[in-house]
Structure 1
Amino acid sequence: MPLPIAHVTPVTGRLTGQVTLPGSKSVTNRALLVAGLARGTSQLSGILRSDDTKYMMAALRAMGVEITEIDDTTVAVHGTGTLHAPSEPLFLGNAGTAVRFLTAAVALVDGKTRVTGDAHMQKRPIAPLLETLRAMGVDATSDTGCPPVCVNGTGTFQSGEIEVSGKLSSQYISAIMMLAAMGTGETRIRIGGGKIGAVGYLHITAAVMRAFGAQVSFPNESDILVSPGGYRAAEYPVEPDASAATYLWAAEALTGGRIDIGSAPGDMNQPDAKAYDLIAAFPNMPATINGSQMQDAVPTLAVLAAFNATAVRFTGIENLRVKECDRIEAVHKGLTAIRADLASVEGDDLIVHADPGLAGQTHPCLIDSYADHRIAMCFALAALKIHGVTIEDPYCVSKTFPAYWDVLRGLGVSVDITQP
């Protein structure tokens, strides 16, 4: 069946207004899992309601965690410190955080758990995480190196020293960190290669763990220490989503507007908040941007860079190839659909050949979102300034920002979504 298409009418004025951001997906899914592993009743406020977090909550409920819905952004999580074997496979759609975090957490189940997802998720690699779990004594297998994954849990795992590659997705390491707090002894996670990669995301994980009573430290740039003791219930406010904020910051920059999101970048602990300074530099963004510490912001920055005064090279973004889609290729194809010479790829680097004259031009094209929320949302920015840019499968934004198109409409942008 043909997918819906979003038609965004370019704006001629400044975008101004107030927007309530959704809660952070990264923080929400970490907090849900840790609260589910804690003993007692935790209250989480400001949570994100999206496909990814719904999958996480459904999986926790399937393993015996009671979750009470208080209002649209608040839940009470009643944990017992244990997880029970689910009666059915845990289906998690294309929720990468949920799949990776739960693949580790179900080692605590006394019994067999199958973790799976949709067709996109079944192409996303998870073998390095399984290798790490097996080194911890966990029986974890996959026929393809991608989900579905089978974990035969015994309720325990081997504490001690475990080495993981620094090239791994930070989500793999976060998964091990959250599991390690449930051990009977101290766990030292040693990063092979001598340096942690996307360390900012690991500090988010550590902050959530500490809020629920766990002890975790970074004694040097290659080690993480997690003490035993599990988690205790807590009241925890989830901060607004910095990744979602990047689209609004970029819309401000492109239109010379002012959008009040109720939070300053400096108040956000998420790595993507660092993208604010780069966006604020527009139209004089730096010639090279290392995206390793703000990976989800790279698509936003790349589309903004198309209108920059000078070309921008994005480095340190190889992990974008194993997100919901190959985001390097998706952004490259989207930009070159607008104009053939607008972007190029060299190895894992993305080069955006900027042209401030793009604004106001007409370039009819249909952007393939690859069912990836970040691709759909970032190319809506291009459509704010270029006539003829349309976006396929716009409702995929429900993964993290279900109200995205309504938010744009609330700022005065004309968005028409049609079914072919």
Structure 2
Amino acid sequence: MTAPLPWLAPYRDTPIDGTVLVPGSKSLTNRVLILAALADGPSVITRPLGSRDTTLMLGALTALGATVEREGMTWTVSPFDRSDRDEPIAVDCGLAGTVMRFVPVLAALGSNPVTFDGDEHARVRPMGTTIDTLRELGVTVDDGGRGALPFTVTGHGHLVGGTVQIDASSSSQFVSALLLAGARFDQGLDLRHHGGALPSMPHIDMTVAELRRRGVQVDTDEPNRWHVRPGPVGSLDVEIEPDLSNAGVFIAAALVTGGTIRIRNWPEHTNQAGDAWRTIVPAFGGSVERDGADLVFSAGSTLDGVELDLHDVGELTPVVAAIAALATESSRLTGVAHLRGHETDRLKALVTEINRLGGDANELDDGLEIRPRPLRGSTFRTYDDHRMAHAGVVLGLRVSDLYVENVVTTVKTYPNFAPVWERLMA
């Protein structure tokens, strides 16, 4: 397949003043889909995200026996029916961490051999914790000794569960994967994390909150330990919140152009990592105000440098780094060593691409140091990573003749992003 031509990112030399309604949260949509497939009855999901990652999740769940009826912005999910299903199953993970890490545990609850594979970059993402944990639970996993995709999971129709110890310091998704299915284990799940600091805790908090909304008992009294009681997962009709991480690219546009952006329907209380933009914007010298259901983000008189620990919200790092590259002072972004195992090695990629434009960035043990320099136009490579594409378009607002390679990769979590961005920045 021929790669798309690099896309000329819109340049803007005047302040932006706009309003955006971002699509639904990918993290929430895929968790809700899984819990609906495990539930004791049908669930109706309103305003789910329709993107590559959620389409891959739908494909995986229907392959395993769930039924999904889609009517516009409403999806009705009926739970798994595994009767008379013993044929081999193939699951395409694409580059979706939620598919490659969440779904193998669901596959282990059945008895079909299920083969997982994905994009080229997916085959280098850390999967050893998933594979080792499934084996500890008594599941047969054939990975050819790679500790990565592709691999085949063959369950025995149920999982006993009980006490499980893992090191999830490379990704919180290893914890969420087990929590989501834990109530369906015969003995429930007593999950304990042993290792370095857990990244992206808001995603684990989101998982726990969604389980409790469906009547699942989850004990979180001890740090790094989650006790999920066995029992039913209740069906639940839900409306998906806007994706606040995807809102970040528009917020960044306001900061780097000296303008203002209104994000519609920003929830007052949420577990989304993107809610951290409330504190990140003031760190750069901007301001945040609530106006009814919306949040309004405005640039300050200067774009200050920052020192931020992004450990819990690492997915925001590429866009934060792009803002920092346009700031008036140096910035340090720390706590994100785990980004080396995301869709690409995001730390290496950001340093390479910022410096390609004439910038001055270097890797730290757990993050980035970025010093402001005049930037020049070039091709900003995305490495098939949607967050890298977001970083590129933010830089393009202030760097003329900047081309973004494969901007279409943004369909992973934001369908039609490029035309939406072009219209807003025109």
TM-score normalised according to structure 1 size: 0.91
Superposition map of 1:299-338 within 5 A:
299-338=318-357
CA contact (8 A) 1:271 1:293 kept: yes
Whole-angstrom distance in 2 between the partners of 1:123 and 1:189: 26
Correspondence for 2:91: 90
2:19 aligned partner, one-letter code: Q
CA contact (8 A) 2:324 2:330 kept: yes
Structure 1 residues 176 and 285 mapped into 2: Cα distance closer, same or farther (>3 Å)?
Answer: farther
Task: Find the residue that maps to 1:324 and give its secondary structure.
Answer: coil
Whole-angstrom distance in 2 between the partners of 1:387 and 1:14: 16
| 1:285 CA drift (Å) | 5.0
Whole-angstrom distance in 2 between the partners of 1:231 and 1:176: 14
Task: Find the residue that maps to 2:238 and give its secondary structure.
Answer: strand
Pick from 231, 242, 245 the counterpart of residue 244 of structure 2: 242
Correspondence for 2:215: 213
Correspondence for 2:372: 354
Task: Find the residue that maps to 1:375 and give its secondary structure.
Answer: helix
Structure 1 residues 235 and 82 mapped into 2: Cα distance closer, same or farther (>3 Å)?
Answer: farther
Task: Find the residue that maps to 1:36 and give its secondary structure.
Answer: helix
Whole-angstrom distance in 1 between the partners of 2:209 and 2:82: 22
Q: Identify unmatched segments of 5+ residues in structure 2.
A: 286-302
Whole-angstrom distance in 2 between the partners of 1:304 and 1:66: 43
Q: Find out whether 1:400 has 2:407 as its counterpart.
A: no
Pick from 372, 377, 398 the counterpart of residue 385 of structure 2: 372
Whole-angstrom distance in 2 between the partners of 1:32 and 1:85: 23
| 1:309 CA drift (Å) | 2.5
1:316 aligned partner, one-letter code: G
Structure 1 residues 367 and 286 mapped into 2: Cα distance closer, same or farther (>3 Å)?
Answer: closer
What does the per-residue CA deviation read over 1:351-404, in whole Å, with 9 as the maximum and x for residues that have no partner? 11124xx4xx6x121111111111011110000011121111111111001221
2:164 aligned partner, one-letter code: I
CA contact (8 A) 1:272 1:293 kept: no
CA contact (8 A) 2:203 2:271 kept: no
| 1:278 CA drift (Å) | 1.2
CA contact (8 A) 2:284 2:306 kept: no
Whole-angstrom distance in 1 between the partners of 2:350 and 2:391: 9
CA contact (8 A) 2:189 2:229 kept: yes
Deviates more, 1:145-154 or 1:132-141: 132-141
Correspondence for 1:132: 133
Task: Find the residue that maps to 1:13 and give its secondary structure.
Answer: coil
Task: Find the residue that maps to 2:77 and give its secondary structure.
Answer: strand
Structure 1 residues 233 and 372 mapped into 2: Cα distance closer, same or farther (>3 Å)?
Answer: same
Superposition map of 1:1-80 within 5 A:
1-71=2-72, 73-80=73-80
Identical-pair percentage: 28
| 1:81 CA drift (Å) | 6.7
| 1:326 CA drift (Å) | 0.8
Task: Find the residue that maps to 1:93 and give its secondary structure.
Answer: coil
1:140 aligned partner, one-letter code: V
Correspondence for 1:418: none
| 1:131 CA drift (Å) | 0.9
CA contact (8 A) 2:7 2:407 kept: yes
Superposition map of 1:120-159 within 5 A:
120-143=121-144, 144-159=146-161
Moved over 6 A (4+): none
2:261 aligned partner, one-letter code: I
Whole-angstrom distance in 2 between the partners of 1:265 and 1:77: 25
1:75 aligned partner, one-letter code: W
| 1:287 CA drift (Å) | 4.1
CA contact (8 A) 1:253 1:280 kept: no
| 1:202 CA drift (Å) | 0.4
CA contact (8 A) 2:9 2:403 kept: yes
CA contact (8 A) 1:212 1:232 kept: yes
Correspondence for 1:342: 360
Task: Find the residue that maps to 1:207 and give its secondary structure.
Answer: helix
1:395 aligned partner, one-letter code: V
CA contact (8 A) 1:249 1:276 kept: no
Correspondence for 2:284: 282
Structure 1 residues 178 and 330 mapped into 2: Cα distance closer, same or farther (>3 Å)?
Answer: same
CA contact (8 A) 1:265 1:274 kept: no
CA contact (8 A) 1:62 1:87 kept: no
CA contact (8 A) 2:66 2:81 kept: no
2:412 aligned partner, one-letter code: K
Whole-angstrom distance in 2 between the partners of 1:230 and 1:406: 43
Q: Find out whether 1:391 has 2:414 as its counterpart.
A: no
TM-score normalised according to structure 2 size: 0.90
| 1:93 CA drift (Å) | 1.3
| 1:195 CA drift (Å) | 5.7
| 1:96 CA drift (Å) | 1.3
Whole-angstrom distance in 1 between the partners of 2:87 and 2:411: 26
Whole-angstrom distance in 2 between the partners of 1:350 and 1:80: 44
What does the per-residue CA deviation read over 1:192-225, in whole Å, with 9 as the maximum and x for residues that have no partner? 1486443211011112222222221311212111
2:391 aligned partner, one-letter code: C
Pick from 232, 235, 240 the counterpart of residue 233 of structure 1: 235
RMSD: 1.9
| 1:166 CA drift (Å) | 4.3
| 1:45 CA drift (Å) | 1.1
Whole-angstrom distance in 1 between the partners of 2:181 and 2:225: 16
